[in-house]
């Protein structure tokens, strides 16, 4: 009996090793030559590498700014079914949570806690309500996110951005919240004038 168990374990181990080798070969990054259909020609793969799509911190700090005329050096465009901030200079985009945008008063973030609430069923471009929760015992700066006209929230602005937004909201400054990503999870919050400048 122990011989049979040993043989079965050896077979299982062999199968696992073969699967591991096949998996590593299948997921090996391809070089430009491997992507090219014809030797000596440029690759035909249409998917841009991450470094060509996303702004690094340094790039964001230099490209997500106002130019010498005071105009925003980036725009909002629709990419892959979502609204994205895009640098005019490089065409790259920042990830949510980008601090270069926050320095301009644009808070680009993923809603926290959205899995704990009923789906908001929001579409890209929809406006959202921001609701201060002054009595929130977990965070005195808490800002809830809700579908306009709904009495139910569907998540919160993260604590770091909420701390920066709470005082201006409490003083009556007007902000616009816009759904940037599918299902309302990725949002952008900005002053009304900035939203108008970006045609949001």
Q: Which neighbouring-strand residues pair with 121?
A: none
Domain boundaries defined on the chain: 50-197
CATH 3.30.70.2330 fits 50-197, yes or no: yes
Helices within the chain (DSSP H only) = 2-26, 32-35, 50-53, 57-63, 99-103, 159-170, 192-197
Model confidence at 28: pLDDT above 60: no
At 119-178, the pLDDT tens digits run: 667 889 989 999 999 999 999 999 999 888 888 888 899 999 999 999 999 999 999 999
> Per the structure block, which two tokens stand in for 182?
């599918």
- Give residue 130's pLDDT: 92
In whole angstroms, what is the distance from residue 56 CA to residue 48 CA? 15
Model confidence at 30: pLDDT above 90: no
* Tokens 């911190």 belong to residue: 57
Q: What's the N-to-C CA distance of the chain in angstroms?
A: 72
Q: Which neighbouring-strand residues pair with 75?
A: 86
């Amino acid at each position: 009996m122990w011989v049979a168990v040993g043989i079965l374990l050896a077979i299982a181990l062999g199968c696992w090793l073969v699967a591991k080798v096949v998996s590593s070969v299948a997921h090996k990054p391809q070089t430009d030559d491997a992507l090219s259909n014809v030797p000596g020609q440029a690759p035909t793969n249409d998917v841009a590498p991450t470094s060509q799509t996303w702004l690094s911190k340094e790039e964001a700090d230099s490209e997500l700014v106002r130019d010498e005329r005071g105009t925003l050096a980036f725009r909002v465009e629709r990419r892959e079914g979502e609204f994205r901030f895009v640098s005019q200079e490089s065409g790259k985009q920042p990830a949510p949570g980008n601090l270069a945008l926050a320095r301009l008063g644009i808070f680009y973030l993923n809603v926290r806690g959205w899995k704990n609430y009923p789906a908001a069923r929001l579409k890209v471009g929809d406006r959202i309500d921001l609701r201060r929760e002054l009595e929130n015992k977990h965070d005195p700066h808490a800002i809830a996110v809700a579908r306009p006209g709904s009495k139910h929230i569907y998540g919160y602005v993260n604590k770091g951005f909420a701390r920066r937004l709470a005082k201006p909201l409490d003083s009556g400054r007007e902000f616009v919240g816009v759904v940037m990503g599918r299902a309302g999870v990725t949002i952008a919050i900005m002053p009304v004038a900035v939203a108008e400048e970006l045609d949001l």
